[in-house]
Amino acid sequence: MQDTFISPLGKCHPMRGITCAAIILCIAVIFMAPVQAFSADELTLDVRKNGDTQVALEYSLSWVEYIAVYLHIADPATELRSALEKSLNRQVSVSSAGTRSADFTVYNLASVHTADNSTTLVTPGLSFDQAGTVLDDYWFSSLVKPDFSPRITTVRFPDGFSTEFTEASAIPPVIHTLEG
């Protein structure tokens, strides 16, 4: 007769006990290990002539974040607006925010300088690494490893001029002069 022992799941055969322990360990590792969380894919900033900027952000969520959004545990529009207003010190209006993308306007993001017959728009430098400090205010911050650096960041101006940054954790100020 083979020995049996008592596990948290009841009496187990020795081999079943090892299997049970391995399953419990795997489940614990899955839930305790940091998960790859929010990942920024594409960021597009459409700068208007008055300095307001329409922003489109495409991203991926971890399954935990996806469930939180789906069950309305977290409201991405409210969280996004709050975080952006705090970090940019500008008024923000969120048009939409869901499980894959967000569209919003940042008012007066670019500074506007008019002289003679031209207007110069200057976007501020943006550091995506600083977004992590906003996340530190949340209880789950130690459980996730977000990637706030977009794969592609595009800055576009009203006359069609655009500039693109790839895999950049920060972008410098962009200065562009509109003629006429």
Q: Which of 176, 177, 162, 158 is nearest to 43 (CA)?
A: 162
Model-level pTM? 0.72
Whether pLDDT at 84 is above 50: yes
Which tokens sit at 82?
């709050």
Q: If you search the block for the tokens 């459980």, which residue do you land on? A: 143
87-97 mean pLDDT: 86
CA 129 from centre of chain: 11
Which helix or strand (DSSP H or E) is residue 93 part of? Answer: strand 92-97
Task: Give the three-class secondary structure for 70.
Answer: helix
Query: Are 46 and 54 contacting, i.e. CB atoms less than 8 angstroms apart?
Result: yes
When pLDDT is cut at 50, 70 and 90, the band that residue 75 belongs to is: low
43-52 mean pLDDT: 96
157-163 mean pLDDT: 96
What's phi and psi for 149, nearest 5 deg?
A: -80, 110
For residue 97, the cross-strand partners are 102
